[in-house]
Amino acid sequence: MVHDARGWWIAEAGPPPLLPALAGDVDADVVVIGGGYTGLWSAWHVLEAAPDARVVVLEADRCGFGPSGRNGGFVQSMTFSLPALRRQYGSPAAEELAAASEESVRAIGDWCAEQDVDAWYRPAPHLIVSAAPAHDGLGVAAVDGERVVALNGEQVRARCASPLFREGVEVKVGATVQPARLAFGLRERLRERGVRIFERSRVGALEGAMARTHGGRVRAGAAIVAAGAAAAAMPPLRDRITVSSSHIVLTEPVPDVVEALGWVGGEAISDGRTLLHYLRTTPDGRIAFGWAGGRMGVGARTGGRMEVDPEVVAQTRADLVRYFPALAGRAIEHAWGGPIDVSPTHLPHVLSLPGGRAHAALGYTGNGVGPSHLAGRALAALALGRRDGPAALAIVGAAPRRVPPEPLRVTGAALIRRALVAKEQAEQSGRRPGAVVRALAALPGRIGLHIVR
């Protein structure tokens, strides 16, 4: 097995050649900080609205080498979160948001087709399944019989015959992609449209809309901060997110197993845990199996065990075989992880920084592939001075609960994570978790500190 910090998707896609770093001063209308999906979609939407705008992207590493190029590739809407969205924003705003997020799922597919980017976009429903009695009934609040439908055990197992699957719900609008191909495709199409992209160009300071790297400055009319989990190190955004990690193991091609499971519809599947498992197939018959049970990041540190944590990988691998016993003797070829920007509401938000010339999106909480397209629309509108349309969506400008300061954030969150792991392992094997574990696992909701999902 290759423990590969970058992940298999990036290798499969074949990363494009590195672009030169920023050297000297450049003027722009919009400077984008971060070349993941949020930054790249923002740049795209700026050009859609203002084709002559001068757009510069500054990327600390290489575009798509962060979580955007190594995630599970689930392209999800926010429809399953409608009950939470209604509580947070009220019904009309929640409905508008869910509809816009579904539109983004489709728009990503349309974009790939129009732009001739082969990102393996495949419309695929998202099944949220119960794999333990404690998780039965999860998701029923979201069932509307149309966009989200309930499935009994037989129906779930007809889609994917894991012996653990008990029941579930199906979210109709969704898709899967090869995430790195999408990120690299975006990067290339932006360059073709004249966007100047500088790689290995970490922004160390942002003053208004002027971004400074070690090699130069970009003086812009507006800035878009799309730095993912690294936002946790940026003072105005520091108390908006905690950083956790998620890991994926990838099998060798096992088309025989996929076939025997009847898992032939390309469904994206996740389970009902808080530290959830997520699983999908690939066109060459592999199974990618993820677990959001990684450790908490200290500060904004996103390397090291955030990217490859052997203990988390070993647990993920063991869980994979529990879900699919037929994989017992089969090779796991790759394993990797990455940081997750977790917001207190588990919903992404878009906000303007003090001064009003810079705008940021963060807090996707492990669900940014679809929503980053929508957040990118909102960020582009804000950067162009608009306050209507996508800039008026409920996730924009909302003041989410803040996370507790460090060191409480990290020590508290690490304790809670351990409790959640213990609780969910006990539930999985049909045991009742102990009282201390239950109390700790219930804490996040009470103190506004959420771990994942």
Ligand X SMILES: Cc1cc2nc3c(=O)[nH]c(=O)nc-3n(C[C@H](O)[C@H](O)[C@H](O)COP(=O)(O)OP(=O)(O)OC[C@H]3O[C@@H](n4cnc5c(N)ncnc54)[C@H](O)[C@@H]3O)c2cc1C
CB-nearer residue toward ligand X: 73 or 344: 73
Least Cα distance to 251 among 309, 327, 337 occurs for 327
CB-nearer residue toward ligand X: 37 or 165: 37
| Cα dihedral across residues 94, 178, 65, 188: positive or negative | negative
Q: Helices 91-114 and 371-383: crossing angle, nearest 10°?
A: 100
Select from 48-56, 58-66, 147-155, 381-389 the region that touches ligand X (CB under 6 A): 58-66
Whole-number minimum distance, CB 77 to ligand X, in Å?
Answer: 10
Binding ligand X by CB under 6 A: which of 4, 12, 29, 61? Answer: 61
- Count of residues engaged in binding ligand X, rule: CB under 6 A: 42
Whole-number minimum distance, CB 128 to ligand X, in Å?
Answer: 13
Whole-number minimum distance, CB 241 to ligand X, in Å?
Answer: 11
- Burial class for 326, CB neighbours closer than 10 Å (0-12, 13-18, 19+): middle
CA distances from 317 to 162, 321, 325, 431, 433 (A): 15, 7, 11, 22, 23
Site string for ligand X, 73-102 (x = CB under 6 A): xx-x--------------------------
CB-nearer residue toward ligand X: 176 or 425: 176
CA 27 to CA 29: how far, in whole Å?
Answer: 7
CA distances from 18 to 21, 225, 263 (A): 9, 22, 38
Whole-number minimum distance, CB 290 to ligand X, in Å?
Answer: 5
Is 366 a binding residue for ligand X by CB under 6 A? The answer is yes
Number of Cβ atoms within 10 Å of the Cβ of 429 = 8
Select from 17-25, 28-36, 135-143, 145-153 the region that touches ligand X (CB under 6 A): 28-36
95 within 8 A of 101, measured Cβ to Cβ: no
Is 8 a binding residue for ligand X by CB under 6 A? The answer is no
CA 199 to CA 10: how far, in whole Å?
Answer: 16
Is 72 a binding residue for ligand X by CB under 6 A? The answer is yes
Site string for ligand X, 248-267 (x = CB under 6 A): x-------------------
| Cβ-proximal residues to 314 (8 Å cutoff; 6+ apart), any chain | none
Binding ligand X by CB under 6 A: which of 77, 178, 242, 246? Answer: 246
CB-nearer residue toward ligand X: 363 or 433: 363
Select from 34-42, 83-91, 145-153, 216-224 the region that touches ligand X (CB under 6 A): 34-42
DSSP alpha helix (H) spans, 115-203: 153-159, 179-192
100 within 8 A of 107, measured Cβ to Cβ: no
Residues that bind ligand X in the complex, under the rule CB under 6 A = 33-39, 58-61, 65-68, 70-74, 76, 202-203, 226-230, 246, 248, 278, 290, 337-338, 340, 364, 366-370, 372
